[in-house]
Every structure is written in C-alpha cells, then in structure tokens.
Structure 1
Amino acid sequence: MTNPLSRRRCRVAAVAALATTLALTSAGCNRGSGGESTASAGPRIAIVTRDFTNPYWAALRDGAMAEAKKQGLDVTVQAGSSETDSTGENTKISALAAQDYDCFGVVPVNDTNVITPLVPVARKNIPILNLDTQISADASKAAGVSYASFIGADNLSAGQQAGQALMKAMGGGGDVAVLQGIAGEQNGINRLAGFTQATQGKVQIVATQPANYDQNTALTVTADLLRAHPTIKGIFAANDTMGLGAAQAVKNAGKSGAISIISVDGITAALQAVKDGTLSGTISQYPYAEGQMAVQACANLAAKKPVPARVVAPIVLIDASNVDKALAAFPQPFEPYDNPITGGK
C-alpha cells in the first residue's frame, strides 16, 4: 500500500515540474498583440509611425518585427490612425514613454509634432531615433530633445531619380502635373525639390497640388487636373498610393498609355501596376529595410556600439526592366546595399 505522505510529495513534485514547464513555454511566447515581438532579453524597443493602412508604414513595421525575431528582442511598433493623425501618434508616444523602454524610434507626421511627447524620454537619457521624416533640429534643441541617429531615405535623390525616369518615359519633355503629399511635410518637399532640379528647363510643370498621400484624394485631384490641363503628358506622385489614384483617373479619362506616371515608395500594389503598365515606374525606398535598421541601431546603442549620426536607407528605380526581380524579392531589396549599422550588405 502506498504511503499518503509519498503520494503528497509526488503531487508537489508534479506541480513544480508543470510550473517550470509553463514558465519555460511562456518565456518563448509573444508578449502581447499589436506589434510586439517574441523576446526574453536585451533592450526593449518602441517604434511609433504613422498609419498601418498605408502599406509603406506596414512594411516598416514588418521589417522591425522581423529583425526583432531574428535577434530575440522585445519590440513594439504602434501607429496613428491616418497619415495626418498627429494627435493619435503623440498619444501613442506618451503612453510608451511612461513604460520601461530602452530605445525609441519615431516617424513624425510633420517636423515638430513628436517633440513634446519625446521630452520625458529625452530627460531619462533614453536614445531616440528619428526615422524616415526629418524632425526640426532647432525646435528639438529648444525642447532639449536630441537624436542618436536619423535613419531614412534620401528624398531629394528620390525626386531627382523620379524626374529623370519620368522624362525618359515621356520621351524627353512636355507638360507635367505633380501630386504632393501633406502640405508642409518634409519628405514631400524634398521629393518635389529633387524632381524640380532634375526637370528644370526640360518639362513644364503646369500644376502642383497636395493629395495627402491618399489614393482617393489623388484620383479626384488628378481627374480635375486632366480636365483643366488636357495637354498633360506626365504625372509625378510623391508616393505610390497617390500614383495609383492618378493611374485610375488617367484610365477613367481614356488616356491610358498617353500619360506617364512615376511615384515613390515601392509598395506591392505599385510594383504590380508597373508590371501591368499602368505606372511607368516607382522609386522604391524599402521601408522594410528601414525598420530592420531601426532595430539594429537600438541594439547597437544598448550594447554601447557606435551608430552613425545619419543612415541612408536604400532607394532604387523599379520599372519594366527589373519589376519581376523586385516582386520576387519583396519586401526585401533585390539588390545589395551598404548597411553602416551592421558594417555589411
């Protein structure tokens, strides 16, 4: 007959073993939903961007989460509810600033909106990365906020490449319309400046209007522009969603094939449109790689390794000549690029 004390000791041992098993299992499980990675050690990283309904920002999130999984780091990525939702974005930053994060990455809506919610982060000497869109250096300095690094594409160069590609697609010159993003947003300003530099004296820009990086807005704006300027031969859209809206407006007007369109970002729908011939090309800025770089930079900072003050993410023109390679590799760059954070390609 089994001793009752022995049976009790067996039950205690079994419970202890089960608790150990559950603890080991939960250590490898997701810490939560909404963009957090599986992680058990290393720096905790918070990234806040604009709007996940825009595939560009969703790709940045996905790149950050992929790198988090690769390195076993705790990363959360959050966003506002729209491209212009500075209030929602600031609320996310403020909530995360009150938690125990070791590094922050932020993509602002404009050049000043994120500064105030970042003040508590800066006061704790937590490193901050300025991602994708430049934050005002003067306003940041006045608020006591500094940045460990800026990680983003060269938007001036993107605009220049777009201008050169559009002129080639148009056959040299003609009347052009430009769809800007959010009024006053620095990336759009830089893209327009680069485009203007590349095309000055070679094409006639007959109209420049904002369409808020929104596809439906771009469709409406482009339809109006085509009626007001029937001689338009080319359209430069400062991002792909606007480019797709412009392409639909051109199709609706019965002018497919007669008007060339170049946009910026390199999202999947734009790559497919290039393959289908409704877009002449897109300047891919690889937000997936940018998200990876953000996590790599935070990991380096936590390990006291150097991070360059400015990291230029890769950009490349994708047109009919290379779109199949781009689609096959998406969301990763299909060509090697220098990564100064990791010291490799």
Structure 2
Amino acid sequence: MRYLQSGRIRVATAVVLALTLATTAAACGRGGTGSSASGAAKIAIVTRDFTNPYWAALRDGAIAEGKKQGVTVNVQAGDNETDSSGENAKISTLAGQNYTCFGVVPVNATNVITPLVPVAQKNIPILNLDTQIDPGASKAAGVSYASFIGSDNLQAGTLAGQSLLSKVGSGNVAILQGIAGEQNGINREKGFAAATGGKLTVVAKQPADYDQTKAQTVTEAILQAHPDIKGIFAANDTMGLGAAQAVKNAGKSSQITIISVDGIKAALQAVQAGTLSATITQYPYAEGQLAVQACIKAVAKKSIPTRVVAPIKLIDKDNVGRALRSFPQPFEPFTNPLAN
C-alpha cells in the first residue's frame, strides 16, 4: 500500500500496520487459533489478458500486496481482451477450489455472471473490479458484489477532452473506441463528449478493441478519409500508441494531438518523447492492491465501501518525469477508504 512518495512513507507504513492489527484483532475476536484474518484469506482474481500492460500491472499490484499482507493471491486471465469464454473457464475452475474471496474484471457487462453463481451460492465475497457488471442480470442470477473497485471513467474521459481541447482549440477530431458495448469505453467517450461538445467536431469514431495493431490500421483509414483532423482521443493507451505510429508514418506527428487513457509505462515514455500528448493514468497497480485489501477486510467480516474509487491523473509533459520515477505507484497521495 505504498502509494506515497518517500516524504510520506511513514504515513503509508502506519496505515499498513493499522490494517494488519485490525485484521489480527478480528481473527482473535472470532475465537480462532490466533492466526490473522489476512492469513485466512485466499484470493482469486480473474482479469482479461496479460498481453495488455494494464491488466499485467493490476496483477502485479495484487500479488505484491498479497505478499505484503501474507495472503495467497492467484491472478489469472483470458487470452485476449475479448476472450470471454477463456475468462469464464478460469472462473469456473477457481470456483471449485477453496478460495475465500474473488475479484473479477469482466469482458462485458454479463459474461462472468454465470460462472460466478457457484461462488455466490457459497457466500464467498466477490469484488467487481474495473468494469461494471450488470446489476440487474446479477441480481436475477443471485450474484451480488461486496464492492466495486475501479476508477471514474467518466472523469477520465472528461480530463482527456479538456486536455485535447486546450491543445487544439477547435477543429475536427477522431475517437478510437474500445470493445463495442464495453462500459468503460462508453463512459470515457461520454466524458470526452461532455468536455468538448460544441467545441470540437468528431468526424470519425471506430472501435479498435483496445488493440495496438488494430488501432494503427483504423487510424490509417481515418487519416485517409479525414486528412484535416487535429486530434485523436484513444480510449486506452495501447490504441493511443497504435494511433501515434499511424500518425508518425503519415508524417503528421507535429500536426495531430493524441491523448489516451490508462497510464501504462510505454504511454508515459511516449508522452516524454512527444509522440503522445498526454495520458490519463488510472494506476492499475494500485487497483490490484486495493482489491487485495478489500478482500482481506471482507473475509474478516469487516465492512467495506460498496464503491472504491481508484485514483486517476492527467499525465503530460509537465509531470511525466515524476510519474515515471514513481511508476507503477501514484506519484501523489490519494484517499484510500480501505485504509482504516
């Protein structure tokens, strides 16, 4: 849980100590053998795929926090961003094992509900991570969630729109969407539209499945159809990097501003190099840490917020150096509702 820079390490250490003492006390209060509540937690997390650095960072944060807290953490994933069947198979396998808490990042709003039914029937806490699972369909299936942990994607889109508007002023822009129908991408686009409506003209928008190669191909086609665009908003960094390559190949890097979302290391390096103008970092490493902290509390029968908002931050040329030095941790402190 080391979210703070060196000047605030003592605060972070105190928070970790307080959390450890709290969970230990909870175990003793149940008349157990004296082992800590965190030691009783066995956590399974299933996300989309590890080829995307975002999900790999979430995995790394969860595993690191598990080691720090002394709990078992198993993080698995599908084969790609749209591999709902592979993801579901992982959940089904883990559901038959003796895990005491689950965290799940869905591919879409409903794909993980069915394999989570056996987990819910055992009254095992389930965390909905990063991407909202349909509450109505979940309720109908008898699946509920101890908490949603993720960043504010509307705000991420708003920050991206404000930044792009400040850089280009007016004119035509394009949007690279994520997976068709995926809620995070929808919310990012809504936030972008709210910030730029009536000021920038969106002449093209097309999904590229959060894939870098697809994004490059889509951007090449957009540049052919709309050679006068002044900016591109990509709903994640891998697509932003693909767009940047297409723009570079067209010899228009100095003419087109590109802003994306996620804050993966390659995007931060691209911002530093000037091929991306900015990224909205969502700190997936911290999100993984938060998931483990929430599971420990849920297993210990401690109350946790129904929604935990992970931090976001606009990273541009002015602060990218600090962001890289702190990576993968946030370079500024944020409010952690799980800390007490």
Same fold by TM (over 0.5)?
A: yes
TM-aligned CA deviation for residue 41 of structure 1: 3.1
Per the alignment, residue 265 of structure 2 pairs with 268
Per the alignment, residue 318 of structure 1 pairs with 315
Per the alignment, residue 71 of structure 1 pairs with 69
TM-aligned CA deviation for residue 42 of structure 1: 2.0
Per the alignment, residue 181 of structure 1 pairs with 178
Percent identity, aligned pairs only, is 74
TM-aligned CA deviation for residue 303 of structure 1: 1.5
Per the alignment, residue 110 of structure 2 pairs with 112
- CA distance in structure 1 between the partners assigned to 2:161 and 2:117 by the alignment: 39
1:232-284 CA distance string (max 9 Å, x none): 00000000000000000000001011000000000000000000000000000
**Partner secondary structure for residue 83 of structure 1:** coil
| 1:298 maps to amino acid | C
| 1:127 maps to amino acid | P
- CA distance in structure 2 between the partners assigned to 1:184 and 1:256 by the alignment: 30
* 2:212 is the alignment partner of 1:205: no
Structure 1 segments, 4+ long, off by >2 Å, are none
TM-aligned CA deviation for residue 115 of structure 1: 0.1
* 2:294 is the alignment partner of 1:288: no
- CA distance in structure 1 between the partners assigned to 2:124 and 2:317 by the alignment: 45
* Aligned length in residues: 304
- CA distance in structure 2 between the partners assigned to 1:41 and 1:191 by the alignment: 38
- CA distance in structure 1 between the partners assigned to 2:335 and 2:124 by the alignment: 27
**Partner secondary structure for residue 301 of structure 2:** coil
Per the alignment, residue 20 of structure 1 pairs with none
- CA distance in structure 1 between the partners assigned to 2:40 and 2:335 by the alignment: 25
Per the alignment, residue 11 of structure 1 pairs with none
TM-aligned CA deviation for residue 289 of structure 1: 0.4
TM-score by length of 2: 0.88
1:214-241 CA distance string (max 9 Å, x none): 0000000000000100110000000000
* 2:138 is the alignment partner of 1:140: yes
- CA distance in structure 2 between the partners assigned to 1:290 and 1:129 by the alignment: 12
- CA distance in structure 1 between the partners assigned to 2:205 and 2:53 by the alignment: 24
* 2:107 is the alignment partner of 1:82: no
Please show how residues 232-311 of structure 1 align to structure 2 within 5 Å. 232-311=229-308
Unmatched segments (≥5 aa) in structure 1: 1-39
| 2:255 maps to amino acid | A
- CA distance in structure 1 between the partners assigned to 2:273 and 2:66 by the alignment: 35
Aligned equivalent of 2:50, options 49, 52, 59: 52
**Partner secondary structure for residue 267 of structure 2:** helix
TM-aligned CA deviation for residue 168 of structure 1: 1.3
Higher RCO structure (Cα 8 Å, ≥6 apart): 2
Bigger Rg, which one: 1
- CA distance in structure 1 between the partners assigned to 2:210 and 2:100 by the alignment: 32
TM-aligned CA deviation for residue 53 of structure 1: 0.6
Per the alignment, residue 168 of structure 1 pairs with 166
- CA distance in structure 2 between the partners assigned to 1:41 and 1:209 by the alignment: 47
- CA distance in structure 2 between the partners assigned to 1:42 and 1:142 by the alignment: 31
- CA distance in structure 2 between the partners assigned to 1:45 and 1:189 by the alignment: 30
- Aligned residues: CA RMSD: 1.0
Aligned equivalent of 1:228, options 225, 230, 233: 225
TM-score by length of 1: 0.87
| 1:66 maps to amino acid | A
Aligned equivalent of 1:158, options 156, 165, 183: 156
| 2:228 maps to amino acid | T
- Decide which moves more: 314-323 or 300-309: 300-309
